[in-house]
Amino acid sequence: MIKNIFLTLICLVSIQLKSQSLQQLKKDLQQIISTKNATFGISVKGIEDQDTLSINGNKRMPMMSVFKFHIALTVLDLVDKGKLQLNQKFFIKKEELLADTWSPMRDEFPEGNMNLTLDQLLRYTVSHSDNNGCDILLEIIGGTQTVQKFINKKGIKDFTIRFNEQQMSGENLYTNTTTPIATTELLEKFYKGKVLKENTTRYLYKIMVETSRGLTWMKAGLPEGTELAHRTGISGTDEKNLRAAMNDVGIVTLPNGKHFILSIYLKNITEDRVVTEKTIADITKTVWEYYLKKP
């Protein structure tokens, strides 16, 4: 009897300490973002420990190129079903390689009219955020409505995709949206193998780790060599120096082998880009230190 009471007290103290620790993390994050000219949405979750917190977690935020993660999931689901193959080749016309957009693929093959495998298109799109590659993938799978249906089918309701990269400008920048919590939920399902088969899950995770974009964002808040599987997204600025959005979402591996998910969204930003990059890095560092101190 006494032993049971003692164990119950230990559990209650542990829960209270955990709650206090999360509350302190939330205060620390709020302090970081309180002076910044932007709307923030943040979601944090430990995959193994299931501890979670959010700031504006259910607020709709523009995804920008974060939606390339959702597109890649949809493409790879078709690979799982045998409708597409990673070694399948697609003929890329020169007119598909638009000039006025971010496209390492176009820079490498300026004349177009060549064959690329689905694997190459996914790597350009996910690892290097290629906008032309993104729109070619959307064309292959039947457009944004295919992505919408697939993500909804996986239980993610707070998600809207209507425009491709070429169409995302002006007010359209605010149409493709999701929430920080919905992003974290999808990342967790993906990591746990509840979205794709084992091989395609490992494949996408790997090319997200190989992301070459946003090296001064979330990645800069982590110790060198830390494994981060992530996807970034950023808009340009308008004539008033307003940036519609800047985002970084991903899965971080801790030294003890555990993982946490961090989804950071910013919208309507008037800070300089370097300030915003440092803010994302500072948020990431703070969350990292919280998990590092956990028993």
Q: Which long-range contacts (CB under 8 A, 24 or more apart) does 133-139 make?
A: 133/103, 133/105, 134/65, 134/68, 134/71, 134/164, 134/165, 135/96, 135/164, 135/165, 135/166, 136/90, 136/92, 136/96, 137/71, 137/72, 137/75, 138/71, 138/164
Find out whether 230 and 126 touch, Cβ atoms under 8 Å.
no
Q: At 140, list the tokens.
A: 């292959």
Residues 6 or more apart whose CB falls under 8 angstroms from that of 164 comprise 134, 135, 138, 143, 144
Whether 19 is catalytic is no
Beta bridge partners of 52: 45
Which one of 165, 185, 188, 277 is the catalytic residue?
A: 165
Side-chain-side CA neighbours of residue 68 (13 Å): 34
- 17-31 b/e (C-beta count within 10 Å ≥ 16 → b): eeeeeeeebbeebee
Whether 48 is catalytic is no
| Sheet of 52-55, strands arranged across | 52-55, 39-46, 259-269, 243-253, 228-234
Separation of alpha carbons 116 and 250, rounded Å: 27
Which one of 65, 127, 129, 263 is the catalytic residue?
A: 65
Q: What is the phi/psi pair of residue 212, to 5°?
A: -100, 0
Q: At 168, list the tokens.
A: 């995302």
Q: At 131, list the tokens.
A: 């906008």
Find out whether 199 and 81 touch, Cβ atoms under 8 Å.
no
- Annotated catalytic residues are 65, 165
